[in-house]
Structure 1
Amino acid sequence: MMTVKHFSLEYDKVNEQGTYSPGEVLTGKVTVVTSKKIKVQCFLVKAKGKAKVTWHEQDGQTPVVHSNKKKYFYFEHIILQDKNKGDGSEIMGPGRNVYPFSFVIPNTDMPSTYKGKWGEITYSLRAQLTQSIWLVHKTKTEFPFLTKSEFPFASKSEMILIGLKEQQHATRISFFGSGKITLNVTSEKMGLKQGEAMGVFVEVLNDSARRVIPKFCLCEKQTFVARSKKTVHTKDILFGTGVAVPAESRQTITKVLRIPPQLPPTFFNCCMMKLEYRIKVTLDVPLMRDSEIKLPLVILQGSPKPHQQKPERSVWFSKLPG
């Protein structure tokens, strides 16, 4: 019968989210319950931070795997270690045994915990109790890591920081058989915190013979890099449709975009993956090309501020010809 009845690992939660950041001390405990005293060769806890990407492609008839990984830190904390390297001279008593541990997380710029389509950034703890070469007990848990960088995407571009609070706008003119459609889109700003909301304003000048309906999406773009190879995964999150704009008419539509609080923030501070977002507005018109507009959007970490409703028609729209 197994003498080790219970083997668990847990870390101390220092805040509601249970997150840790660079420079902080990570503490926890390992609990071992045994039915009798046992001999131990080695008993240790490991802390690791790493990023890893993997995806598969087909090169003709040959499947190709692209992968890469990066280690941010690796530490070991030895709880028990026999003195003669393998003779099992250390003894653990019967019953419930609790062993505390602690690690200082390096105070360097590391990306937050993230899991994407073909890659992930993980921070984990592992405990290993070795009784003999044939009898090894293991357990693992991951802890959420949060970067200290307020802007983990703009380390090389101060212009992005300046533009976070600026209004974004774009125009698209499309032509097809029954006429011309002009689409003007404005968002209140480029930077939004998780859970925050803002208005997206759309003006449609419909000079065609059919009605059109604007659709609003939040576009997520994940980029993964393995040495010289790159792959991209995109996903659209629909957050609403506008009212129909009749033929030969002009109408302004306002939609409130609310960022889901659980949506990961934008980041660029990982050499193997990055996460970007766009606001996309399209016109639901069959067989019509170039009927979409994308505006940049940066999702920031942190508690959102209450959304303040703005006038349905922005100042920028008022400058358009009647």
Structure 2
Amino acid sequence: MSLTVKNISVIYNPINQNNTFTSGDLISGQVILDVAKDTQMQSLSVKIKGKAEVCWSERHGKTTVVYSDKEKYYSVEKFFVREEKTHGNDHETLRDPSGQPYSSVVAPGHHVYPFTFQLPLQHFPPTFKGSVGKIVYTLETKLSRSMRISSKAKAEFHYVPSPVVSNPELMAPQYGTKDKQMKLFTSGSVSMNINTEKMGYYLGEGLKVLAEVQNNSSRTIKPKYCLYEKHSFFAKGKRKLHTHDLFKEEGEPIEPSSRKTVTKVLPIPPSLTVSILNCRILKVEYRLRVYLDVPYASDPEIKFPIVILPLQSLSAASSGTNNDFQIWNQPTRGNAYPNPPPSAPPLNVVGQPGQFGAPGHYRPPLSQFPAPGYPGPPLSQFPAPDYPGAPLSQFPAPGYPGPPGQFGPSVSHQSDSSAPPPYVEYQLYPQLPDHPEKS
């Protein structure tokens, strides 16, 4: 920074105890400028913007290839001072509190320039920082002077979607069944029927799993549970994956030639990143794996997709716009959540990398895959990775004019050299379809 400009910074005013913002919120703040002597400004501006970006490199023989991509959500700039000949009329010019234009010449001392933005009513992915990708929302200020390098400063703010769930697909139960015949050192067979109450869970909520296990083998077996996550990054037709087990728990042993029904409640850590399914270049997904620990044999398992929902912030309680999960913020009486957690934890902690891949998974029947005996509604809007090609045309996404796409199976290796198919078009979730994936 030059000797003339001693300090330039931008700050904003929190609107709730978690210091988070959501669609439609007003975000106000100040640009602070300290100068040592009279200073002639060409322009002084403040900008609000949101974007996602990914970047990583891979070695291919002796060559290093860099994979990167960006996705911009919005960018709005306002000027306190500007030269008309250098800027068009598409930017708003702010005035001082008395309604007068700001002077382009500032005297020595401390100067404060207040501003206010309204966040767009569209809903965007939440703030996120991963190993090779991030989603950031920032306020930036820029001071331009003749024959001088521009002085800049920025501040990041935390954006979260804030829904009240009214989509029955997220609240519908999930079912899975698995039978396995034992070989070699273990004889007989085992089978299990697993169901969860729903697919969508709030941060801090309990995930209830009901397991009915028939042990007709010669060994004592034990049901086990694992919640894990997957971060997927996309660029130049490549896909990079990072997986991480969040926690593992186990149930009571089940003796040979016995049948047992076990109920397990798994806590959703309040520090997790909410599911990110509406970004073209990165995704954050979760999966529950239920398996039987069988000695001297491969373990039969069932996997379920889990969608982590954000808690509702006070600033968005009165908003009526649609959000990331095709659900709506509506006035409610009593509790705002169908299954509220005991408290509202901060939403500014980023989780670890993880995976969302899955053979052996059975989902509630999709409308094009009818299954007798299933009491719940069809889940045509949330096809499982094990049902490749389930159409998602009922999810229109404003601003993403690509053709309707499909979910295919995803991959388990770290990158895929094949080019991704056209992006999916549906409500607020434009994303790359998965590449073929192994367990």
Q: TM-score range by the shorter chain?
A: 0.7 to 0.9
- Structure 1 letter corresponding to 2:255: P
Correspondent of 1:274 among 283, 295, 312: 283
How do 1:296-311 and structure 2 match up within 5 A? 296-302=305-311, 305-306=339-340
Correspondent of 1:183 among 189, 192, 205: 192
Secondary structure (helix, strand or coil) at the match of 1:170 reads strand
Q: Which runs of 5+ in 2 are unaligned?
A: 87-102, 313-336, 343-439
Q: Which residue of 2 aligns with 1:162?
A: 168
Q: TM-score, normalised by structure 1?
A: 0.80
Per-residue deviation, 1:99:
0.6
CA contact (8 A) 1:109 1:149 kept: no
- The number of residues matched between the two structures is 297
How do 1:1-322 and structure 2 match up within 5 A? 2-81=3-82, 90-131=104-145, 133-147=147-161, 161-174=167-180, 175-177=182-184, 178-179=186-187, 180-285=189-294, 288-302=297-311, 305-306=339-340
Q: For residues 340 and 28 of structure 2, what CA distance do their matches in structure 1 show?
A: 35
Secondary structure (helix, strand or coil) at the match of 1:164 reads helix
CA contact (8 A) 1:283 1:291 kept: yes
Q: For residues 232 and 291 of structure 1, what CA distance do their matches in structure 2 show?
A: 24
Q: For residues 9 and 251 of structure 1, what CA distance do their matches in structure 2 show?
A: 61
- Structure 1 letter corresponding to 2:34: V
Q: For residues 168 and 83 of structure 1, what CA distance do their matches in structure 2 show?
A: 60
Q: For residues 281 and 196 of structure 1, what CA distance do their matches in structure 2 show?
A: 19
Greater CA drift, 94-103 or 239-248: 239-248
Per-residue deviation, 1:77:
1.7
Q: Hey, which of these two has a bigger chunk of strand by percent?
A: 1
Could you give the per-residue CA deviations for residues 24-78 of structure 1, whole angstroms, max 9, x where no partner exists?
3332101123344333333221211111122333334422222211111112222
CA contact (8 A) 2:212 2:261 kept: yes
Q: For residues 116 and 187 of structure 1, what CA distance do their matches in structure 2 show?
A: 29
- Structure 1 letter corresponding to 2:251: G
Per-residue deviation, 1:288:
2.9
Q: Which runs of 5+ in 1 are unaligned?
A: 152-157, 309-322
CA contact (8 A) 1:214 1:242 kept: yes
Greater CA drift, 213-222 or 30-39: 30-39
Per-residue deviation, 1:209:
2.9
CA contact (8 A) 1:150 1:301 kept: no
Q: For residues 307 and 15 of structure 1, what CA distance do their matches in structure 2 show?
A: 19
* Larger Rg, first or second structure (1 or 2): 1
Q: For residues 149 and 118 of structure 2, what CA distance do their matches in structure 1 show?
A: 30
Q: Percent identity?
A: 38
Q: For residues 117 and 248 of structure 1, what CA distance do their matches in structure 2 show?
A: 47
Per-residue deviation, 1:150:
5.8
Secondary structure (helix, strand or coil) at the match of 2:168 reads helix
CA contact (8 A) 1:198 1:307 kept: no
Per-residue deviation, 1:10:
0.8
CA-based RMSD of the aligned residues comes to: 2.9
Q: Which residue of 1 aligns with 2:333?
A: none
Secondary structure (helix, strand or coil) at the match of 2:20 reads coil
CA contact (8 A) 2:219 2:295 kept: no
Q: For residues 277 and 297 of structure 1, what CA distance do their matches in structure 2 show?
A: 5
Q: 1:150 to 1:59 in 2, by over 3 A?
A: farther
- Structure 2 letter corresponding to 1:176: K
Q: For residues 62 and 135 of structure 1, what CA distance do their matches in structure 2 show?
A: 36
Q: For residues 5 and 257 of structure 2, what CA distance do their matches in structure 1 show?
A: 78
